[in-house]
Amino acid sequence: MFIPLRDENPSGKFAFVNLALILANIGVFIYQITLTPYAFTAFVTANAMVPARIPAFLGGHGSVEAAFLPLVTSLFLHAGIAHILGNMLFLWIFGDNVEATFGHLRYLLFYLVCGVGSGLTHIAFNLYSHIPALGASGAISGVLGAYIVLEPRNRILTLIFIFVVRVPAVMVLGLWFVLQFLSGIGSLGSTANGGVAVWAHIGGFLYGLLITLAVKHR
């Protein structure tokens, strides 16, 4: 078990888009937990990403909004307190440096593109699943992919079991990606059961990495 706590090279700039994304996620989660169980289920069902809605729409059933809008709205939903705390911790640690490189508006666009790309990757591997997928982790995975390109040698203060150590970002994020990839390979051929959407993580990370490599090269 390893949990990043903070990085040792903050951007030095006020990352107001990253902060706004964190506050938006928290605000939506607070709204979620105020709902009755029936209203909560209805809200999540309407706004979470359900892969089977895509082939249904292509087959002439349902609306384009119901099929594709959740690729964005699902990025602001979370299943529980541990889910949102973990996602927001990663976004808080790694997002400011990426925003400083991209600029505010480009960072927002980058975040949403990675989120939608991660959702499409999840759909590709779970095309007929009726299980709702939700959470910001696909977009945040894109932020991690960008960070490993921009700050590979930066030290991350990391909790490893009971020890707090300084680990290069390329090791922390590289290990995270390898674990996601192995989990994704292990899930091939099985039916999605509502667990972690690892292919969304893999897709988001690769989108973020490739976009950042292209921007850095240019």
201 is catalytic: yes
Cα separation, 87 vs 200, in Å, equals 14
One-letter identity of residue 121:
T
Alpha-carbon distance values, 160 to 43, 55, 59, 72, 128 (Å) = 37, 42, 48, 33, 38
Separation CA 41–CA 32 (nearest Å): 9
DSSP percent split of the chain into helix, strand, coil, nearest 5 = 65, 10, 25
Query: From the candidates 74, 118, 129, 137, which is the catalytic residue?
Result: 137
Q: In what order do the strands lie in the sheet with 163-168?
A: 2-7, 155-160, 163-168
CB atoms within 10 A of CB 187: 18
- Annotated catalytic residue: which of 74, 78, 187, 201? 201
C-alpha span between 41 and 10 (Å, rounded): 39
Integer Cα distance of 159 and 149 in angstroms: 22
Identify whether 137 is a catalytic site residue. Answer: yes
Q: Supply φ then ψ for residue 142, to 5 degrees.
A: -65, -40
Q: Which residues are known catalytic residues? A: 137, 201
